[in-house]
């Protein structure tokens, strides 16, 4: 039988291999982890026959498809029923030279602090 640390490591590897997963998340208060000798395996909480994996996903991908992919991969890796919790989403920066959504929205704030309505002031 595998230790919880070995199972948690396998869950991390399986979850992070799914396209769209940008990382694991320890929860709002840092409470989601599996404890092993000298370390915390963040984002994975295991029970005897089940577990949870808390992920961060790229918003440019379908979040539900990503979560389902993580569930399937982590259940295969762990041999347990897994619940997937999407804790956060990330948005990739657009490539240089591409327009962003806020540029043509009146009143929208851009990173410089000027709104589209401010013009060239």
Q: What is the pLDDT along the chain (121 residues), one digit of tens a residue?
A: 479 999 999 999 999 999 999 999 999 999 999 999 999 999 999 999 999 999 999 999 999 999 999 999 999 999 999 999 999 999 977 667 665 555 555 555 555 555 455 555 4
pLDDT at 51 (0 to 100): 98
The predicted pLDDT at position 88 comes to: 97
What pLDDT, on the 0 to 100 scale, is given for residue 99? 58
> Does the structural domain 4-92 have CATH classification 3.40.50.2300?
no
- What's the angle, vertex CA 16, arms to CA 91 and CA 100, rounded to 5? 10
């Amino acid at each position: 039988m595998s230790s919880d640390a070995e199972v948690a490591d396998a869950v991390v590897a399986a979850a992070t291999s799914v396209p769209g997963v940008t990382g694991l998340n320890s929860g709002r208060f840092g409470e989601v982890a599996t404890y092993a000798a000298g370390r915390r395996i963040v984002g994975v909480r295991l029970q005897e026959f089940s577990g949870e994996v808390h992920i961060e996903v790229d918003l440019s991908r379908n979040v539900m498809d990503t979560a389902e992919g993580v569930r399937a991969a982590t259940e295969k890796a762990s041999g347990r029923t897994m619940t997937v919790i999407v804790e956060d989403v990330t948005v990739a920066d657009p490539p240089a030279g591409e327009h962003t959504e806020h540029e043509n929205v009146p009143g929208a704030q851009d990173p410089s602090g000027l709104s589209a309505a401010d013009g060239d002031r």
